Amino acid sequence: MKFASIRLVTAQFEPLLAFYQKISGIDPVRLADGFAEVRFDGAVLAISSQALVARFNADAAVAAANRSAILEFEVADVPAISELAIKEQIEVVMPATRMPWGNLSLLLRDPDGNLVNIFSRPAA
C-alpha cells in the first residue's frame, strides 16, 4: 500500500488553494473544476470543492468540520513563513516557538480553520 495524499474538502475552493500556494510557493495542479493538487516532495495535498464530494463521493465529507488533524510542513526558514503570515493576514494561532524536542514551530489556521504547523528541526 502506498499513502497517496491528504484531501481537504472546502466550500471556499479558491481561497483555500491560494493559502496553500502562498505558504508553499508551489503552483497547484488543477485536475478538474473544483479539484487541484499541491504536489510537495513526497506528499500530495488535494483540495476538493464540497460540490464535487456531494456529487461523486456520496457527500461523505463535510467542509471545514475538522478539529482533530494538524497538517504539518517542514521548512528551512520558519521566521520567513511567520513574516509571510503577518503580511498576508493569515491567522497565527501560536507564534514561532521552540518545542521541548527542539523543533521551531509556528501554528496557523487556513481559511477553513484547519490547523497548520510550519516547523523546522534543530540542526544536527
Sorted by where each starts, the structural domains of the chain and their CATH numbers stand as: 1-57 (3.30.720.120), 69-124 (3.10.180.10)
- Per residue of the chain (124 residues), what is the pLDDT tens digit? 989 999 999 999 999 999 999 999 999 999 999 999 999 998 999 999 999 988 888 888 888 888 889 999 999 999 999 999 999 999 999 999 999 999 999 999 999 999 999 999 998 7
- DSSP states of 14-36: HHHHHHHHHHH----EEEETTEE
Computed over its alpha carbons, how large is the radius of gyration of the chain?
15
Hey, which residues does 49 pair with through a beta bridge? Answer: 10
